[in-house]
Amino acid sequence: MTHINSIGLDNQKSQALVTALNTLLSSYQIQYMNARGFHWNIKGRNFFELHLKFEEIYNLLLEKVDEIAERILTIEGQPLHAFSDYLEQSKIAEAKGISEGTAALENLLAGFTTLIGMQREVLAQAGDAQDEGTAALMSDYIKEQEKLVWMLKAYLN
């Protein structure tokens, strides 16, 4: 029995990455639904700009949900696909009943901060597994979200 999968990665290290990526996938799904809910429910003075911004954010998140699930499949894992699993595995909590802009932005900011930390952990794990594909994906996400965190903080201040 071989210890290397079809793309040349160690099976055991890949399966550990699948576990971490499924937790990340779950967290992305909750962050996505939170952003979607803010888009639908936002009220108040900054409605027009925030309604558009939340749509931009949830579209970016949805793209990453798909990329992470496909990466899990690429390294020969099975992505989670039940919302109950997402709720159980996510490191980001559901946001309910938020319609005020500052509260919504603070929630998204906290979620992106969590995602960045998780992605740094996956990046280190991918490096150890010599999984350049996962490492590159995480590096791109971190760079993009660090800028988004800066922008959200600037808007809130």
Which pLDDT band holds residue 7 (cuts at 50, 70, 90)?
A: very high
Contact call for residues 152 and 109 (beta carbons, < 8 A): yes
Position 95 scores a pLDDT of 98
Tokens read off for 153: 């903080």
Average pLDDT over residues 109-125: 98
Instruction: State pTM to two decimals.
Output: 0.96
In whole angstroms, what is the distance from residue 138 CA to residue 73 CA? 16
For the record, the structure tokens of 33 come out as 């639904």
**64-107 pLDDT, tens per residue?**
999 999 999 999 999 999 999 999 999 999 999 999 999 999 99
Domains of the chain: 11-156 (1.20.1260.10)
Q: What percent of the chain has a predicted confidence (pLDDT) above 90?
A: 99
Contact, 79 vs 73, CB < 8 A?
yes
The tokens describing 54, both together, are 């939340």
CA distance 147 to 119: 15
